[in-house]
Amino acid sequence: MTMADATPLSLAERSLRELANAYGSDKGDRINCAHDFVRIYQRILASCREAPLRIAEIGLIHVYTQAEYAGRLDQTGCPSLRMWADYLPKAEVYGLDIADLVALGGGRIHIARGDQGNRADLEAFARSHGPFDIIIDDGSHASHHQQITLATLFPHLAPGGLYVIEDLHFQPSELEVEGISKTRDVLRRMAFPGQLLKLPITQAEYAYLLANVAAVSFFDSLSPKWSAQQAEDALAVIRKRGEHGLLPVQW
């Protein structure tokens, strides 16, 4: 289920990578973990760069950047939100973070404060700014947070929209809840819902996901910090059932 990277980069792909690297996002290939996830986003977004999309991202500033720029985060802004706003010139870009980064918004970038482990915070964010065409979870990476966020926000994704979860290969041990199934395993097993899973969401929420997820595609991280085996299936793109009209069905 992992896509190989055999084709040369297009000019547009290099441009997206340049934006990621320039703004300090580890979605590029130089900063912090350097996952190079932009190669996947390029494939998805190249055909709809001028579309009036609504894109939301959970988790806005890398923990290393927060530590390095403590007290002066205005110097960095929110790297990936700036990248999306530049790459998608007609998009409205929304961000949610547990830290108070609201002052870093402006123009087409809108930032709210909230905890992705708190359904009320997620619902308030979605009801204020959704529905969204694309949702990206780059938050705490804790399995229960990822699954609560998916269950809460997926109903606020437009038909045919895309829900992306990054860094499925890394869940911080200090945040993990013992016994909760890893999100990567949950997504892999959606095609076989009879398998036993321990989830932090309700049966109704899981049933909604099973009924409305059209496809799940996995992609590797290219970070030099992990072996190829460890970084396998590090990012998932989940497509919602229905017709979108702007986003591609395949990439």
Contact (Cβ atoms closer than 8 angstroms) between residue 186 and residue 236: no
**Cα(241)–Cα(227) distance, integer angstroms:** 34
Length of the chain: 251
169 labelled catalytic: no
**Cα(80)–Cα(57) distance, integer angstroms:** 8
Structural Rg of the chain based on CA atoms: 17
Pick left, alpha or beta for residue 149 (phi over 0 → left; psi -120 to 50 → alpha; otherwise beta).
Answer: alpha
The percent helix, strand, coil of the chain (3-state, each to 5) is 35, 20, 45
Amino acid at 3: M
Kind plus residue range of the DSSP H or E element containing 236: strand 235-240
Q: Which of 141, 145, 169, 244 is catalytic?
A: 141
Amino acid at 122: L
**Cα(143)–Cα(173) distance, integer angstroms:** 10
**Cα(98)–Cα(113) distance, integer angstroms:** 6
**Cα(212)–Cα(155) distance, integer angstroms:** 9
Two tokens, residue 165? 């979860």
Q: Look up residue 32 and give its DSSP letter.
A: T
Mind telling me the catalytic residues? 141
